[in-house]
Structure 1
Amino acid sequence: MKRLASFRVLCGLVLFAAGLSVAVAAEPATSPEKADEDFKFQGEYAGTLNRDGERTEQGVQVIALGGGKFDAVGYHGGLPGAGWDGSDKVRASGQLKGSELVIANAEGDAKAVIRDGKMTISVDGSELGTLDRVERKSDTLGAKPPEGAAVLFAGKEADLKNFKEGARFENGGLREGFTSKQEFDDYKLHLEFMLSYMPEARGQARSNSGVYQQGRYEVQVLDSFGLEGADNECGGVYKAKAPSVNMCLPPLQWQTYDIDFTAAKYDGDTKTAPARMTVKHNGVVIHNNIEVPAGTPGGTQAEGPGPGPLFAQNHGNPVFFKNIWVVPKK
């Protein structure tokens, strides 16, 4: 049991800066080629550990903080949405040392070392096991629009005609800050997005955008990889509902939102029923037919009757979108 206890001590070391806002010292990286040396260590690791003769699945998310410093979050049973049993997460901190990332407890009897895409965890010099770096992809990535869909962006600069002035095309993607010309009532939305890599930023300064249904109700877009999964983090319905599980993948990986949206109902100017939505983030349901009691500040219009556009907020951080289509509900 000492090994298990020491492992928990290791994972309990916390360098927790998720809620802080600090100045960004480097330009956001919009491709792996533009990222720093820390980028190749950041990501998800999964595999089997042998703890006192018991083999258990383990997932770990490693988050770059800049300057060779990292957070690590452990999940018993596997990664979020892929085996994690929902038990308490364990957090640790690490430091880059040469070509290795080393995470160790204060006593030095437990450590994890990442080298060449593998995380080896040991206690008292004995290995518990090795986790492999994995790159998950959403089941709905690349989904094809069905018949009757309004295809807003299919990866071509010519698709800018579907958006109001100010929409930007870059490297095959649509940048944050767009507003669709077409407006919608009830619908199903598919879109894909990629967060920029901003390791020295914190909290709301870390690759921030947001997708507004009807220009009124925001589903947050943020680099929340490894964070708690609050309502103002990726997948949250801003100021209304936190996601049931934080499904945010690391920056510079394409992610998906699939949103089934039902508009608020009005009798004249009197609201008789709130808006509702079901949200899948990377193929996993994180909101199931929830009520959205009010509109979100910062949209294109206040809550009210009538249709509205698809709007992606611009917070000054590079965020890329692609494969955007809407199926109106009859």
Structure 2
Amino acid sequence: MNVPKISLLFFSLIGLTAFAQDTYPSTPPEESPMPMKPEMTEIWEPQVEKITPGENYGDAPSDAIVLFDGNNLEQWVSQKDSTSSAPWAIKEGYFEVVPGSGGIQTKMKFGDCQIHLEWSAPDVVENSGQGRGNSGLFLQNRYELQILDSYNNRTYSNGQAGSIYKDHPPLVNAMRTADKWNSYDVIYTAPGFKENGLIDNPAKITVLHNGIVVQNDATIHGLTLYIGLHNYPEPHGEDVIALQDHGTKVQFRNIWLRRL
């Protein structure tokens, strides 16, 4: 009997298909992922370190390095001569810039840190602009957070209180009157450098002035120079905290720092 070629081809294909199914079983269905449980996203170790907060706002926590407690300047030295004591005047619970004596700096060096500092312009308002209650908090002895009596005192915005000097103006002017104390609470991240000395990640800073955010994770673009564009000319590590003598009497109290 002659079987048409088309029929033979049809039956051959059926046979090959059956053989293939027997020889190469179909891929099993994908398994469902394991259901998540609450404990799968819990971190237990290492246990978070316990510190004791201060009783009131501005009080140093238990792990703070107290840089001024109202009694002496033992943690500070002269910037003109780091082997000499800080030349500023100790008053009742605070200290005051002695104009012309030069700035002061900490004995210890720091990088990433949290700083609390309280300051006041002279009670008697004199001069204007940059000549009124002018000082500065220098991080790593290079990057200045401006201190200035900016209450009803117009000057360039990136040079008023709360500014990163000649870099970032503050978001708002939170200055109190000259007869009241101001506070700075600072979170500072030091810059990092590549092996070739070039900047890898610039410094960052967050500042609360009297409890109000005036710098929000701001990038510091380099040395806060009076003249010229800011840059990072050379790599460096931890360095001192400094306070500036700008020729006017500024008062300070309750200064402490936490390493981060």
CA distance in 2, matches of 1:141, 1:218: 28
Q: Deviations over 1:250-300 (max 9, x none)?
A: 1121110000000001123221011000000000001100100011238xx
Q: Deviations over 1:32-57 (max 9, x none)?
A: xxxxxxxxxxxxxxxxxxxxxxxxxx
Residue 286 of structure 1 is matched in structure 2 by 214
- Per the alignment, do residues 144 and 232 of structure 1 end up closer, same or farther by CA in structure 2, a change over 3 Å counting? same
1:179 aligns with 2:105: yes
- 1:187-198 equivalences in 2 (<5 Å): 187-198=113-124
1:311 aligns with 2:242: yes
Residue 328 of structure 1 is matched in structure 2 by 259
- How many equivalent pairs are there? 186
Is the 8 Å Cα contact of residues 220 and 236 (structure 1) preserved in structure 2?
yes
CA distance in 1, matches of 2:61, 2:89: 24
- 1:164-243 equivalences in 2 (<5 Å): 164=77, 165-171=85-91, 172-176=93-97, 177-227=103-153, 230-243=157-170
- 1:292-307 equivalences in 2 (<5 Å): 292-297=220-225, 304-307=235-238
CA distance in 1, matches of 2:71, 2:144: 26
TM-score, with structure 1 as normaliser: 0.53
CA distance in 1, matches of 2:169, 2:200: 24
Is the 8 Å Cα contact of residues 152 and 326 (structure 1) preserved in structure 2?
yes
Is the 8 Å Cα contact of residues 133 and 149 (structure 2) preserved in structure 1?
yes
Which of 178, 185, 199 is equivalent to 1:258? 185
CA distance in 1, matches of 2:216, 2:153: 21
**Structure 2 stretches lacking a partner, 5+ long:** 1-54, 78-84, 98-102, 227-232
Q: What RMSD over aligned residues (CA atoms) do the two structures have, in Å?
A: 2.2
After TM superposition, which residue ranges in structure 1, 4 or more long, deviate above 6 angstroms? none
Q: Deviations over 1:202-226 (max 9, x none)?
A: 1111111111111111111111102
1:163 aligns with 2:163: no
CA distance in 2, matches of 1:244, 1:227: 16
- Per the alignment, do residues 200 and 147 of structure 1 end up closer, same or farther by CA in structure 2, a change over 3 Å counting? closer
- 1:1-330 equivalences in 2 (<5 Å): 143-157=58-72, 160-164=73-77, 165-171=85-91, 172-176=93-97, 177-227=103-153, 230-268=157-195, 269-297=197-225, 304-329=235-260
Match of 1:211, SS state, is: strand
RCO (CA 8 Å, sep 6+): is it higher in 1 or 2? 2
Deviation at 1:167, TM superposition (A): 3.8
Is the 8 Å Cα contact of residues 174 and 321 (structure 1) preserved in structure 2?
yes
Deviation at 1:148, TM superposition (A): 1.5
Deviation at 1:310, TM superposition (A): 1.1
**Structure 1 stretches lacking a partner, 5+ long:** 1-139
Match of 2:158, SS state, is: coil
